[in-house]
Structure 1
Amino acid sequence: MDHVTEWDSARHRVRRFRAIVGVVAISLVIFGGVAGAVLLLNTPGRTVERAEEAKQQAAKESVARAERRMKTFTSAWERGKWDVAGQYTDSPGSAASLLASMHRNLAPRPFSIEVGRPTASSSTRSERKSGAKAYVVPFTVRMKVPRVGTYTYESKARIVQTAARDVVHFEPSMVHPALKVGQTLAVARMSTRGSILDRTGDVLAAATLVGEVDANGRGTSGLEKRYDKQLTGSGSGSAYLIAITDRETGRAVRPLRTPDAKLGKDVHTTIDPDVQRAAANALGGVTTPAALVALKPSTGDILAVANEPAGYNRAFIGEYPPGSTFKVITSAALLRAGLSPSDVLECPRYEWVYGWRFTNQNEFVLPEGSTFRDAFAHSCNTAFVGARDKLDDRALARTAAAFGIGGVWDTGASTYDGSVPVNTDVLDRSAAMIGQGRDLASPLVMASVAGTVKNGKFVQPRLVPEAVRHPYQAPESLDPNVVTDLRSMMRSVVTDGAGEALRGLPGRPHAKTGTAEYGNASPRRTHAWMIGYQEDSDLAWAVLLEDGGSGGSDAGPVAAAFLKNLTGKGPS
């Protein structure tokens, strides 16, 4: 048995103490390193970075999903598996039916589709609510069609991703950009002549404006005549072409351009099909020759041109006394001369000028103390003729020029652009004050007058933008204060005056009526006018009824029918 001395015992305790201290120190170092690493890895900056990396990775996976879905759809399409392809869309039956129809009609061999890279697309409100994502995927279709030759076109599809599945949003324009509901592609023997198109790219439905083509394929009237060389191109006669075709009737609507086809060049117009339809329908029940023009004041785009009966384009080239619609211009001149809408302007039964008697329709009078605004709203001739001395012989011509009248308009079509000569004497000026005498205008000109008030300045109308080289610029602009007063006075026509046919219609219409005498018959025969614009939309218009009676009671209901037809279908 060993003996433990006091000194050995102490030394042993020291060693144990040092060992414990060493273990603790090592533990602290290890723990501190791990803790430090944990703290380092969980700093806010690193957390954001990792979240962003995860977000980017998720986006890449989402794009890849969209591309895969599109490729499965196009693969089935290429292989002629119409029902299978339809199942990848949100409208299986419609998609399968259109794909099958197109391929039966074209019988393309070979046929291939190349899918491009998806890009993120904005989601609809319902998609956002459900958390869906959307991508647009471009693709290129290549085919060879019997009797036609090679044909290549580009289109794009919209892929909608939800938690449940990814679908291709189906609409005819996805299958081919030119297709609309109820249409397909087919091979047809068609004229190689180009077409007159509306602003949406469809064949324009306005017979008088379009014109006619003779048996030799030559344009003989309207735009067909004006653009005959462009429409004919280098081709002649007819050929087998791929055509947009109505599925119900089988009628070929218009041909598509292919590299092998020598087609004439289409003529694109500004006509809006909805506005054109509303105008044509408004004239449907009219029994006298009539015209209706509508345009977009901010750009001058002509949205509708309707003539009844068809054949003569009175809307563009007719030369008519504008009657009291011209009082918009006369009022602009009087306002510029210092007259205020609230100033008294008496409206007697007669106004005599050098033995010539001016009167109002049905010889009405307005109460004593009536104002300039009242005279305008009720279209009092005697009040305006009575104000003749406030203007000199050049005032009306100068003011009309600010509305573009008398210039040479480059619209892309034949037009009569109006005439307001410098007056020669007091009698000539008195007649001109109420749109009679030598004042002449077309319905297009008077629609532009209303559009100028709406827009605040003249913008020349245009029908075929690509053909407009030198749009006419008015030599001067209207004073903003004059424009403000004119707008207020034109609204008064509807709320308090002769434009009651428009009262209560949506869009806050502003208007001016007109009853223009012409000829030498006794009693004098009259044209009926109404012009105006919508405060709540970019639309101005003019209605003319030849030998049509009164502006308020006859032209007014036609204008009202036009605006009612447009409800919910404002210009694009």
Structure 2
Amino acid sequence: MGKRRRVAGRRKTRPAVLGAMIAVVVGGAGFGVYALYGGGAAADEGVSAEAGHQAVRTGPLTASEIRTASARFLTAWRQGRTAEAAAATDDPAAARRLLTGYTRDAHLKDVTLTAGKARGATVPFSVKATVAYRTLSEPLAYGSSLTVVRAKGDGKPLVGWHSSVVHPDLEDGDTLVTGASGTPPVTALDRDGGKLTAARFPSLGTVLDGLREKYGKKAGGRAGVELRVVRGKAARAAKLSDKTLVELSKGTPGTVRTTLDPALQAAAERQVDRQDRASTVALRPSTGEILAVANSGHGFNTAFQGSLAPGSTMKVITASLLIDKGLAEADKKHPCPKTFTYGGWKFHNDDDFEIKGGTLKASFARSCNTAFISQAKKLKDDDLTRQAQQFFGLSMDNWAIGVPTFDGSVPVQSAAQMAASLIGQGEVRMNPLNMASVAATVKAGTFHQPYLVSPSVDHRTLATASRRMSAKTLSQLREMMSYTAGYGTAAEAMSGLGPDYGAKTGSAEVDGQKKPNGWFTAYRGDLAAAGVVQAGGHGGDTAGPIVATLLRTGS
């Protein structure tokens, strides 16, 4: 049952060999999958069986298995045999729902799939199709990929299912829909009235999507007809916005003015493009206005929505806590041993350096971990959490900047994890927006919630901090950040930007990553900025030049 018999008389010609490649054309009515695959391993490699029992496939996937499994899926998809295509995956139910919607809801027809050379078990392929809705039609072209895996039961090669197989912008649970958009388009303007577009500023793609979702109806626009990604439950929980893929008829956009500065935005775009996986934010401490946001990867908005350990930039908050608690003062002696053990963990400084007879300011400027870890035994488990919330406005998930954000997380922890959080490790999570706000709070003397769209546009309420730092704590923080910018780990990046400045570097270790994430947060005059370069190494060397350039440009 269920097995197909070989049809008598079927041609048994082998595919033509082109050099070291094999060209395989998978045909059907009006269908062209043209695949180039490497290798020519026998189809029965990695198959074990006992007499009278069904074969169970084991071992690494062969080139033949990868070729056959991917071609089976792509052929069925193209020919509209949705159930068969779904059955060629390891999650038939989810695959069938999305593949059915590809035609029914997204109104895609005349699909052509062209597969490229497999890279291991991953097969890239390009898609060409037509979006046809009533009397409207537009071409669609994009690239995607699939990965062949072994089924858990019998080891059969199947396509590992994720929604991104159908389109790379899809998260699992998302759908593709063509029709009159529920959200009208918007024309986003910078603070000077210039038009903001993803073509002009590639980093703003996700920001513009968020602005449309938030203000499309409020700005008075009229929806057009388009193919769009409609986010599912998981993507919405991650604060991802719907995304337009093809516009079939233009709507009438409303207009939304932002706080972005075109010169700073252009500088931010240039800076992050020089690094892999870099993100940065610049804002005005006196008001909270966001002046620039950029990511070197133009997909996920790490600058606003990232959730990363901030490393030693967190010591700005921790230092304020120690001063408030009377456990340290900037110019008083403070321990910085090579190592310090707390909660069963042994914490180290970079290269196990120590500062004998030094002050908190010296430890802060050189980023001594043990100077902060050594105070853990004198703190309550929730002290750091309360400090971040009450004075810096973080970790309460209540910012309303105009687009989705992650507002930092400083959970209550105990023992070694609590100690690790003091130096921005453990479960503490931040992004450049959060850390730019930390520097801005020190500069302004109080927390101003960052915002991209003025609250006067929609009368929303901005978040506030419940407490303001004392003059004593604030002056010492500024003194330490200024000293770090002039003589500490931030000095090289901040050279020539003084004297009204302050900075803090950071390096955050990540499991399985050879180099730490490099962090940098700083202010100069009425401008604050922060940046991260993932897997970049020391923050002063990687994120530092990005931030310093923005501070110099905005002056």
Could you say whether these structures have the same fold, taking a TM-score greater than 0.5 normalized by the shorter chain as the test? Answer: yes
Q: 1:440–1:561: structure 2 CA closer, same or farther, 3 Å change rule? A: same
Whole-Å Cα distance in 2 between the matches of residues 422 and 514 of structure 1?
22
Match of 2:349 among 352, 355, 360: 360
- Superposed displacement of residue 282, structure 1: 2.0
Whole-Å Cα distance in 2 between the matches of residues 469 and 203 of structure 1?
24
Match of 1:317 among 291, 296, 305: 305
| Deviations 1:406-455 (CA, angstroms, capped at 9, x unpaired) | 121011110000111122x2212210110110111111011000000000
What does 1:353-502 correspond to in 2, within 5 Å?
353-366=342-355, 368-401=356-389, 402-407=391-396, 408-423=398-413, 425-465=414-454, 466-467=457-458, 469-500=460-491, 501-502=493-494
Whole-Å Cα distance in 2 between the matches of residues 194 and 409 of structure 1?
22
The residue aligned with 1:342 is 331
Deviates more, 1:319-328 or 1:503-512: 503-512
| Deviations 1:440-490 (CA, angstroms, capped at 9, x unpaired) | 111101100000000000010110112460111112221121111100100
| Deviations 1:1-48 (CA, angstroms, capped at 9, x unpaired) | xxxxxxxxxxxxxxxxxxxxxxxxxxxxxxxxxxxxxxxxxxxxxxxx
Q: 1:235–1:440: structure 2 CA closer, same or farther, 3 Å change rule? A: closer
Whole-Å Cα distance in 1 between the matches of residues 450 and 349 of structure 2?
33
Contact 2:216 2:254 in 1 (8 A): no
Whole-Å Cα distance in 2 between the matches of residues 326 and 302 of structure 1?
21
| Deviations 1:247-281 (CA, angstroms, capped at 9, x unpaired) | xxxxxxxxxxxxxx994311111001111122222
| Deviations 1:341-368 (CA, angstroms, capped at 9, x unpaired) | 12211222211124311111232222x1
1:203 has 2:192 as partner: no
Task: Tell me the amino acid that sits aligned with residue 342 of structure 1.
Answer: D
Match of 2:533 among 540, 545, 548: 545
Structure whose residues are more often strand by fraction: 2
Contact 2:206 2:300 in 1 (8 A): no
Whole-Å Cα distance in 2 between the matches of residues 229 and 412 of structure 1?
14
Task: Tell me the amino acid that sits aligned with residue 334 of structure 2.
Answer: L
The residue aligned with 1:530 is 520
What does 1:112-191 correspond to in 2, within 5 Å?
none
Whole-Å Cα distance in 1 between the matches of residues 458 and 353 of structure 2?
48
Instruction: Figure out how many residues of one structure are paired with residues of the other and give that number.
Output: 340
Task: Tell me the amino acid that sits aligned with residue 485 of structure 1.
Answer: Q
Task: Tell me the amino acid that sits aligned with residue 201 of structure 1.
Answer: G
Structure whose residues are more often helix by fraction: 1
Q: 1:201–1:237: structure 2 CA closer, same or farther, 3 Å change rule? A: farther
Poorly superposed stretches of 4+, deviation over 6 Å: none
- Superposed displacement of residue 294, structure 1: 0.4
The residue aligned with 2:170 is none
Partner-residue secondary structure (3-state), 1:266: strand
- Superposed displacement of residue 234, structure 1: 3.1
What does 1:153-302 correspond to in 2, within 5 Å?
193-204=185-196, 205-211=200-206, 221-230=209-218, 233-234=221-222, 236=224, 263-286=252-275, 288-302=276-290
Contact 1:210 1:223 in 2 (8 A): no
Contact 2:529 2:551 in 1 (8 A): no
Deviates more, 1:486-495 or 1:352-361: 352-361
Contact 1:224 1:231 in 2 (8 A): no
Partner-residue secondary structure (3-state), 2:363: helix
Whole-Å Cα distance in 1 between the matches of residues 459 and 346 of structure 2?
45
The residue aligned with 2:501 is 509
Q: 1:235–1:395: structure 2 CA closer, same or farther, 3 Å change rule? A: closer
Q: 1:320–1:526: structure 2 CA closer, same or farther, 3 Å change rule? A: same
Contact 1:327 1:434 in 2 (8 A): yes
For normalisation by structure 2, the TM-score amounts to 0.58
| Deviations 1:294-324 (CA, angstroms, capped at 9, x unpaired) | 0011111000001112122100000001110
Q: Where does structure 2 lack aligned partners over 5 or more consecutive residues?
A: 1-183, 227-249
Contact 1:510 1:532 in 2 (8 A): yes
Q: 1:279–1:365: structure 2 CA closer, same or farther, 3 Å change rule? A: same
- RMSD of aligned Cα (Å): 2.3
Match of 1:560 among 537, 548, 551: 548
| Deviations 1:372-401 (CA, angstroms, capped at 9, x unpaired) | 111101000011111212322121111101
Whole-Å Cα distance in 2 between the matches of residues 552 and 235 of structure 1?
46
Q: 1:389–1:270: structure 2 CA closer, same or farther, 3 Å change rule? A: same
Task: Tell me the amino acid that sits aligned with residue 427 of structure 2.
Answer: R
Whole-Å Cα distance in 2 between the matches of residues 538 and 378 of structure 1?
25
Partner-residue secondary structure (3-state), 1:510: strand
Task: Tell me the amino acid that sits aligned with residue 546 of structure 2.
Answer: V
Partner-residue secondary structure (3-state), 2:496: coil
Contact 1:208 1:312 in 2 (8 A): no
Contact 2:201 2:266 in 1 (8 A): no
Calculate percent identity across the aligned residue pairs: 39
- Superposed displacement of residue 224, structure 1: 3.4
Contact 2:185 2:212 in 1 (8 A): no
